[in-house]
């Protein structure tokens, strides 16, 4: 019977810490500010943006939303980013992905100042993560690490397997585990013997985007299982990449979906924005 690592509980603690520190900054005349850009009307993106605004209000940040029409040009979007890069009250800039097809995501990410890149997608921040000398971490992998630490799990010397190699989760996740001395294997669609590799993992992170992909026969007895996926099952219910009912009896720790990694992503975004405000005001300790 696995212990459930509750993202709701851990994210509430992270947000409470951020709120407390935000109040201290306000006493020194600094209020952290986050600008969120959303282009078009993707319903999932709208939900995420609303949640980010709510979290900002909860911790005491200023939040600005820029909702642009789907037909916004590349030039208009880059102009807005340039204005926000130069706006002192804004410490973090986040452009909600995916963007409409005619816009160049790469150019948009590159246009955001690395000092305001609270998603940690800018190549300069990605490079810093590689060498272990960074200010910001991508929010989802950072949230997974926070859950691991909260549960008191030691990564050092453990066999860690990450399923998925995206720039947003899989690759940075593998680096963070490596920085804590895990022995890391990254699996993907071309991996041979996936089942064998996964079932040797002491720590298994599923970030593949396929509902209930990880079955009990892929999990070692007593493994720590962290589920990054958010999918809908055959009945339209939210579920992860892990078949929870099958895997939970074998795992020592497991994250649920919903209520696991999901709430951590926004909590870590708040943490990054606070960090950016401190850096930009020469207050980083």
pLDDT tens-place string over residues 75-93: 999 999 999 999 999 999 9
The pLDDT of residue 265 is above 80 = yes
The answer to whether the beta carbons of residues 109 and 95 sit under 8 Å apart is yes
Is 96 part of the annotated catalytic residue set? yes
Give how far Cα 160 sits from Cα of 6, 109, 195, 204, Å.
Answer: 21, 29, 14, 6
Fold of the domain built from segment(s) 139-262: Rossmann fold (3.40.50)
- Active-site residue (options: 3, 41, 82, 96): 96
- Active-site residue (options: 52, 116, 158, 220): 52
pLDDT of residue 284: 73
Taking all residues of the chain, what is their mean pLDDT, rounded to a whole number?
97
Exposure b/e, 193-210, CB count within 10 A at least 16 = b: ebeebbbebbbbbbbbee
* pLDDT tens digit sequence for 268-281: 999 999 999 999 99
Is 117 part of the annotated catalytic residue set? no
For residues 120-147, average pLDDT: 97
pLDDT of residue 44: 87
Return the residue matching tokens 């924005």: 273
Q: What is the pTM assigned to this prediction? A: 0.95
The full set of domain ranges for the chain reads: 28-113, 139-262
- Active-site residue (options: 116, 117, 119, 202): 119
* pLDDT tens digit sequence for 168-195: 999 999 999 999 999 999 999 999 999 9
Confirm whether 28-113 and 139-262 share one CATH topology. yes
For residues 139-159, average pLDDT: 98
In CATH, what number does 28-113 get?
3.40.50.10860
The pLDDT of residue 285 is above 70 = no
Is 215 part of the annotated catalytic residue set? no
pLDDT of residue 1: 84
The answer to whether the beta carbons of residues 2 and 253 sit under 8 Å apart is yes
């Amino acid at each position: 019977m696995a212990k459930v690592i509750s993202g709701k509980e851990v994210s509430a603690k992270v947000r409470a810490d951020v709120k407390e520190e935000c109040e201290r900054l306000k006493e020194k005349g600094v209020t952290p500010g986050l600008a969120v850009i959303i282009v078009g009307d993707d319903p999932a993106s709208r939900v995420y943006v609303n949640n980010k605004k709510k979290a900002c209000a909860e911790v005491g940040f200023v939040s600005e939303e820029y909702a642009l029409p789907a037909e916004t040009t590349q030039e208009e979007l880059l102009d807005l980013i340039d204005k926000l890069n130069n706006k002192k009250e804004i410490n973090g800039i986040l452009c909600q992905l995916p963007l409409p097809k005619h816009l160049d995501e790469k150019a948009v990410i590159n246009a955001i100042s690395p000092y305001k890149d609270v998603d940690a997608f800018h190549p300069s921040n990605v490079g810093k993560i590689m060498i272990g000398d960074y200010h910001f971490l991508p929010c989802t992998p950072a949230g997974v690490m926070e859950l691991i630490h909260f549960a008191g799990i030691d990564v050092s010397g453990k066999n860690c397997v990450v399923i998925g190699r995206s720039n947003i989760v899989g690759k940075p996740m593998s680096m963070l585990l490596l920085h804590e001395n895990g022995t890391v294997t990254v699996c993907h669609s071309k991996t041979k013997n996936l089942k064998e590799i996964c079932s040797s993992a002491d720590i298994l992170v599923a970030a593949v985007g396929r509902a209930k992909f990880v079955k009990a026969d892929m999990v070692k007895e007593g493994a720590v299982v962290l589920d990054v996926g958010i999918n809908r099952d055959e009945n339209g219910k939210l579920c992860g990449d892990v078949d929870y009912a099958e895997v939970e009896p074998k795992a020592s720790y497991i994250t649920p979906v919903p209520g696991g990694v999901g709430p951590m992503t926004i909590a870590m975004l708040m943490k990054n924005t606070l960090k950016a405000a401190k850096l930009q005001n020469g207050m980083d300790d």
